[in-house]
């Protein structure tokens, strides 16, 4: 093991964690309301609004159909507009967020659909407002499912962040390509793969635990 490997790995891991955590937080803050809107504006739901729901759903589908590697390049002008540069770890977060928001939206929508209609009906019968129903019925009831879904999103973000590394975002993916592949250092390639595996295991384990703890059914 060469002397430069440890600092290289720890720096790359730090960049990956930074990209994933910040992108995930921003994407969740936008994605959960998006999922709530997707669900509640659908037919027969508390904020039913057919046309709005259709438009929202088509935008979500459109973004989700673009492969991440293409999305990343295609939105370079937007990235530049937002962070002032199109390369670097922070710049990589723009496509990561844009790709994750619709993903989270759909996942949250799926979880909200699982909440029995009768519980919403009961809340309506007690005079709850739509906002109260979202905050006190839909989200808490769907929370175990949402946590499980978000875990999946984090894991796919880890993968996408490695791709983002290829356009100068840094992180473990970037390290594996530049050192492991291009400079013929298989030990670095192996180390990054192991770190990624461990990272994903930890995320999945934590997600499962939390979902289970929240599930009172």
Partner 1 sequence: MIKLSHIEKTYDSPAGPVKALKGIDLEIARGEIYGIIGLSGAGKSTLIRCINMLERPTSGTVTIDGQDITAMDESSLRQARKSIGMIFQHFNLLSSATVYDNIAFPLRLGHISEKDVRAKVAPLLELVGLTDKAHQYPAQLSGGQKQRVGIARALASEPKVLLCDEATSALDPQTTKSILELIRNINQKLSLTVVVITHEMQVIKDICDKVAVIENGVIAEQGNVLEIFTNPQKPITKEFISVLLSNSLPAAFRGNEISPKPVPGSYLLLRLTFIGESADEPVIAGMIREHHIEVTMLFGTLDQIKNTPYGRMIIGVTGDEAEIQRALDYLTERDLKVEVIGYVQRHASVAQ
Chain positions contacting partner 1, by CB under 8 A: 116, 118-119, 121-129, 132, 136-137, 140-141, 143, 214, 216-217
CB of 150: closest distance to partner 1 in angstroms? Answer: 17
Angle at 194 between CA 182 and CA 27, to 5 degrees: 90
CB of 43: closest distance to partner 1 in angstroms? Answer: 12
Contact 206, 212 (CB under 8 A): no
Q: Is 127 left (phi over 0), alpha (psi -120 to 50) or beta?
A: left
Choice between 109 and 141, CB closer to partner 1: 141
CB of 114: closest distance to partner 1 in angstroms? Answer: 11
Coil/strand/helix, residue 115: coil
User: Residue 7 and residue 13: Cα distance in Å, rounded?
Assistant: 10
Contact 34, 108 (CB under 8 A): yes
As a whole number of Å, the CA-based R_g of the chain is 20
Choice between 183 and 216, CB closer to partner 1: 216
CB of 213: closest distance to partner 1 in angstroms? Answer: 11
CB of 125: closest distance to partner 1 in angstroms? Answer: 4
Choice between 37 and 138, CB closer to partner 1: 138
Choice between 183 and 217, CB closer to partner 1: 217
Give the CB-side neighbour count of residue 186, counting CA atoms within 13 A.
0
Tokens describing residue 204: 């999945």
Choice between 22 and 124, CB closer to partner 1: 124
Neighbours of 156 (CB within 10 A): 15
């Amino acid at each position: 093991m060469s002397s430069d490997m440890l600092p290289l790995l720890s720096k790359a891991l730090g960049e990956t964690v930074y990209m994933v955590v910040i992108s995930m937080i921003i994407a969740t803050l936008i994605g959960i309301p998006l999922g709530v809107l997707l669900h509640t504006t659908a037919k027969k739901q508390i904020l039913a609004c057919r046309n709005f729901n259709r438009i929202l759903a088509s935008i979500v589908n459109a973004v989700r159909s673009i492969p991440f590697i293409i999305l990343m390049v295609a939105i370079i002008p937007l990235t530049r507009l937002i962070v002032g540069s199109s390369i670097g770890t922070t710049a990589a977060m723009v496509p990561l967020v844009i790709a994750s928001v619709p993903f989270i939206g759909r996942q949250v929508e799926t979880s909200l659909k699982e909440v029995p209609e009768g519980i919403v009906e009961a809340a309506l019968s007690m005079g709850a407002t739509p906002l109260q129903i979202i905050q006190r019925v839909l989200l808490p009831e769907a929370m175990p499912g949402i946590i499980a879904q978000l875990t999946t999103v984090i894991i796919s973000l880890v993968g996408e962040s490695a791709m983002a590394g290829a356009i100068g975002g840094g992180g473990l993916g970037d390290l594996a390509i530049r050192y492991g592949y291009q400079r013929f250092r298989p030990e670095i390639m192996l180390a990054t793969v192991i770190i990624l595996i461990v990272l994903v295991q930890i995320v999945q384990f934590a997600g499962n635990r939390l979902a289970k703890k929240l599930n009172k059914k």
